[in-house]
Structure 1
Amino acid sequence: MTWDLAFKLLALFAMIAIGWIATRRGMLGGAEGQRALAGVGFGIFLPALLFRTMAVLDLSSLPVQLLLAFFGPLVLWALAVWCWERRRAAAHDDPQGHPADPAVRTVALTFGNSVQVGLPFAAALFGEAGLQLHLAIVALHALVILSLITLLAEIDLARAAARRGAGAPLGPLLLGIARQSLLHPVVLPVLLGMAWQLAGLRLHPVADNMLQTLGQAGVPLCLILIGASLAQHGLSADPRALIGRSLLKLLVLPALVASLGWFVFGLRGLPLSVLVMAAALPIGSNALLFAQRYRTREGEASAVIVVSTLLFAFSAPLWLLVLAWLS
């Protein structure tokens, strides 16, 4: 790992530290203040980023095979993790558990930090050609993963509500899931941006600059909120569980992507390297926003983000050695 990449990681930890200090000094207004900031991030900054990404995306220029080789395994992984977490929750039958817990943990084990860490990493290691491939992944990353796991969370919430209502009919249950999913601040801007793109419309420069600025504001806010959550909850989860979950994201998921990319999609060289390193990135800060959206597992989400980012300094060179051997 180069010094430039190490400095990028240190900058991330510095912004997390700012959030921790600000919370300790009472500058963020306690738990409700943090939830308000998370609401701004999830309700304004993230929708602006998603809508603009979809509205300006040139679908015809995307490397379809590369994207299938990346998102296919990620979708399968997300569904497998969600099913596993649901089975664990049912087996433990925790009355304090939240219906969205399986989806929140699925985000943490699937969603990588493709921007703050991924962009400088791809640029430094793979040059302009690799960066362009990574940018294609970034363009669809939040759209695909967050939309899918949002749907899974809303399914679990609707099922829990139906059980409390002594078994609501299937029709109203499905309509409720569809309505909550479509009006969700992740899914709705994606659909609107897609409609904008398909209609052949262009964003006015004023609107484009506004949406771009709002989207960029979400990055430092997420890092500040991670530090704030750590100050409030600490490393509340079992350290062994945090390390285990981090290693699933840093080692097992990229191994799945590498295997399918090599054997199923026939990728070699630069495309395979970009694909694997994108899957091997540490957990992204949107995992905390997702947890705060559903008001569950905030402390666990912030802790596993920090732990996975620390461990990435050791797992990244390992994957680079594997890719060098494959090539």
Structure 2
Amino acid sequence: MNSFVIPSLLPVVVLIAAGYLAGRRRWIGGNAVKDLSNLIFLLLAPALLFRAMSTVHVQELSLKPVAAYFIASGLLFAGTLALRGFNRTAAVIALANTYSNTVMIGIVLVGLAYGEQGMVVLLTLISLHSLVLLTSATVVLELAVAREHAAVSGEEKRPMARTVLRALRNAIIHPVPMPIIAGLLFAQTGLVMPEFLDKPILLLGQAFGPVALVMVGITLALTPIGRHWRDATVQALVKNLLHPLLVAGIGWLLGVRGIPLTVMVVAAALPIGANVFLFSQRYRTSEDLVTASVAVSTVLALATLTLVMILVQWLP
């Protein structure tokens, strides 16, 4: 039953380990991480995403699996707020519980394990992932901040409508959803990409996987965990195990089956995405805990992803 799981995960593990070694040896220092990240997200990822979607027709897409993912994520997000209260810290923790590293790890893993069919399902999710989760988190965080400001006399309330519109714009005009949308629109024209353009785009896309995974390893090597490792471990287990369990349950209730359900569950089992750390920095809350949680979640994913990918095969 698990014959394909280990061969799919091993290249991911080896490349992350290579990046970790490079980071520990300081072959790539902290100052170069931002530049490497820009290379991945502004050049390599758009090439891969555009080309992957440039032959996909709209009728091939199914939104029910994506709906199951977001319903489960919404329940987990709301449950976190209910337990921790309506404040900035709770909102950032809730985002960490639901926001997966679908690009840097997910694309490579799903491509290796589930092929082209799985990639179409994952890229449908990725095209909406940041738009839905980051925009929702921004609205909640801004409402929490507005509530804090309202408690201080003389403080001017922040314009929520402008904040929401800015969040929507930033989520759409982004190097991840934009090439997916552009590739999908190109596919509907029926045109074929000229080889002199298609070949360089293909080569750039092929570079994404190894470079992105090496980058994950470098980031792990440079990330301090410190005294937050216990709380970070709890946070990681919620993300890596509870999130996919909820997605599996909601997907099953909605009648999602086969590869679409499998990919959604595996996507939910992916470790915490780095954007959560950016939110913790922006709103100045739980930076150390989120940093440690991203690192612990990524390390634990080597075991938890294996477990989830084996168990998900038993779903009818």
Report the equivalent of 2:253.
Answer: 259
Aligned to 2:108, the other structure's residue is in SS state: coil
Q: Which sits farther off after the overlay, 195-204 or 134-143?
A: 195-204
Residue 18 of structure 1 and its aligned partner are, at CA, apart by 1.0
What root-mean-square deviation, in Å, do the aligned CA atoms of Structure 1 and Structure 2 show?
A: 3.6
Moved more, 81-90 or 184-193: 81-90
**Letter paired with 2:264:** A
Q: Which moved more, 1:190-199 or 1:139-148?
A: 190-199
Per-residue deviation at 1:73? Answer: 0.5
Contact 1:5–1:121 (CA under 8 A) maintained in structure 2:
yes
Partners in 2 of 1:241 and 1:174 — Cα distance?
A: 27
Tell me how far apart the structure 1 counterparts of residues 175 and 92 of structure 2 sit (CA, whole Å). 16
1:106 has 2:60 as partner = no
Change (3 A) 1:108 1:292: same
Change over 3 Å in CA distance of 1:70–1:137 after alignment to 2: same
Task: For 1:129-278, list aligned pairs within 5 A.
Answer: 133-155=117-139, 166-199=156-189, 201-233=191-223, 237-238=229-230, 239-261=233-255, 272-278=257-263
Q: Matches of 2:264 and 2:311 in 1, distance apart?
A: 14
- Tell me, yes or no, if structure 1 residue 318 matches structure 2 residue 303: no
Pairs aligned (count) = 297
Distance 2:183 2:17 in 1: 35
Distance in 1 between residues matched to 2:104 and 2:212, nearest whole Å: 14
Distance (whole Å) between structure 2 residues aligned to residue 158 and residue 204 of structure 1: 46
Aligned to 2:275: 290
Which residue of the other structure, out of 257, 279, 283, is the alignment partner of 2:264? 279
Does the 8 Å contact 1:117/1:281 carry over to 2? no
Question: Counterparts of 1:209 and 1:157 in 2: how far apart (Å)?
Answer: 43
8 Å CA contact retained: 2:97, 2:238 = no
CA displacement at 1:176 relative to structure 2: 2.5
| Residue deviations 1:72-126 (CA, integer Å, cap 9, x gap) | 20121232333344556645654xx8x765434421398896543334434xxxx
Residue 57 of structure 2 aligns to which amino acid in structure 1?
Answer: D
Return closer, same or farther for 1:250/1:93 CA change in 2, 3 Å cut-off: closer
Q: Compared with structure 1, are the counterparts of its residues 56 and 219 closer, same or farther at alpha carbon in structure 2 (3 Å cutoff)?
A: same
Structure 1 pair 196/11, CA: closer, same or farther in 2 (3 Å)?
Answer: closer
Cα–Cα, structure 1 residues 33 and 157, in superposed 2: closer, same or farther, change >3 Å?
farther
Counterpart residue number, 1:128: none
2:50 aligned with 1:51? yes
Partner of 1:74 in structure 2? 69
AA aligned opposite 2:262? M
The alignment partner of 1:203 has SS state of coil
Distance 1:178 1:161, change over 3 A: farther
Distance of 2:101 and 2:92 partners within structure 1: 15
3-state SS of paired residue (1:167): coil
Taking the aligned partners of 1:3 and 1:230, their CA distance within structure 2 comes to 28
Distance 1:39 1:155 in 2: 26
Superposed CA deviations along residues 264-304 of structure 1, whole A, max 9, x for unmatched, are x6xxxxxx23233223326447x545346656634422421
Once the two structures are TM-superposed, the CA of residue 228 in structure 1 deviates from its matched residue by: 2.0
Kindly indicate whether residue 301 of structure 2 is the aligned counterpart of residue 300 of structure 1. Answer: no
* Distance apart, 1:26 and its partner CA: 0.7
Separation in 1 of the partners of 2:172 and 2:123? 20
The aligned residue for residue 10 of structure 2 is: 10
TM-score (norm 1): 0.73
Residue 25 (structure 1) shift:
0.8
Q: Structure 2 vs 1, CA of residues 213 and 88 (structure 1 numbering), >3 Å: closer, same or farther?
A: farther
Match of 2:36 in 1: 37
| CA distance in structure 2 between the partners assigned to 1:291 and 1:171 by the alignment | 23
Q: 1:26 is aligned with what amino acid?
A: R
**Pair 1:208–1:82, CA change in 2 (3 A):** farther
Distance 1:200 1:170, change over 3 A: farther
Q: Could you say which residue in structure 1 is the equivalent of 2:152?
A: none
Q: CA–CA distance in 1 between the matches of 2:24 and 2:258?
A: 41
**Partners of 1:274 and 1:203 in 2: how far apart?**
28
